[in-house]
Amino acid sequence: MKRDQFFRALPSYAYLIILGLIVVLPLILIFSQSLMSNQEINRWPPKIYTPEPVFSNYVNMFKRPDLKLGRWLFNSIFAATAYTLAVFLICAPAAYAFARLRFPGNNVLFFILLATVMVPGQVTLIPNFLLVRNLHMLDTFNVLIWPGAANVFAVFLLRQFFMQVPRELEEAAVLDGASYWGRFWRIIMPLSTNALVALGIFVFLGHYNDLFWPLITTNSIEMRTLPVGLTLLNFSYGGMERPLVLAGAIFASIPVLIVYIIFQRQIIKGVAMTGMGGR
Q: Which residues are CB-contacts of 275 (< 8 A; sequence separation ≥ 6)?
A: 157
Q: Is residue 252 at the binding interface for other proteins, with CB under 8 A as the rule?
A: yes
Q: Please, where are the H alpha helices in the chain?
A: 2-33, 38-41, 56-63, 69-100, 106-118, 125-134, 141-145, 152-164, 167-175, 180-182, 189-191, 193-208, 212-217, 226-237, 242-274
Q: Is residue 53 at the binding interface for other proteins, with CB under 8 A as the rule?
A: no
Q: Is residue 231 at the binding interface for other proteins, with CB under 8 A as the rule?
A: yes
From the list 77, 86, 84, 79, the residue with the least C-alpha distance to 140 is 79
Q: Is residue 208 at the binding interface for other proteins, with CB under 8 A as the rule?
A: yes
From the list 45, 153, 135, the residue with the least C-alpha distance to 91 is 153
Please say which residue, 161 or 184, places its beta carbon nearer to other proteins.
184
Q: Is residue 236 at the binding interface for other proteins, with CB under 8 A as the rule?
A: no
When binding is defined by CB under 8 A, the residue of 9, 169, 172, 240 that contacts other proteins is 9
Contact in structure between 102 and 210 (CB atoms under 8 Å): no
Please say which residue, 106 or 169, places its beta carbon nearer to other proteins.
106
Residues 99-138 that bind other proteins (CB under 8 A): 101-104, 106, 109, 112-113, 116, 118-131
Please say which residue, 54 or 129, places its beta carbon nearer to other proteins.
129
Contacting range for other proteins; rule: CB under 8 A; set: 55-63, 160-168, 191-199, 251-259 = 251-259
Q: Is residue 256 at the binding interface for other proteins, with CB under 8 A as the rule?
A: yes
Q: Is residue 83 at the binding interface for other proteins, with CB under 8 A as the rule?
A: no
CA distance 221 to 210: 17
Contact in structure between 152 and 113 (CB atoms under 8 Å): yes
Residues 133-172 that bind other proteins (CB under 8 A): 146-150, 152, 155
Please say which residue, 157 or 205, places its beta carbon nearer to other proteins.
205
Please say which residue, 43 or 63, places its beta carbon nearer to other proteins.
43
From the list 245, 243, 239, the residue with the least C-alpha distance to 47 is 243
Contacting range for other proteins; rule: CB under 8 A; set: 51-59, 63-71, 163-171, 262-270 = 262-270
When binding is defined by CB under 8 A, the residue of 30, 138, 173, 197 that contacts other proteins is 30
Q: Is residue 186 at the binding interface for other proteins, with CB under 8 A as the rule?
A: yes
Q: Which helix (H) or strand (E) holds 187?
A: none
Please say which residue, 9 or 163, places its beta carbon nearer to other proteins.
9
Contact in structure between 233 and 66 (CB atoms under 8 Å): yes
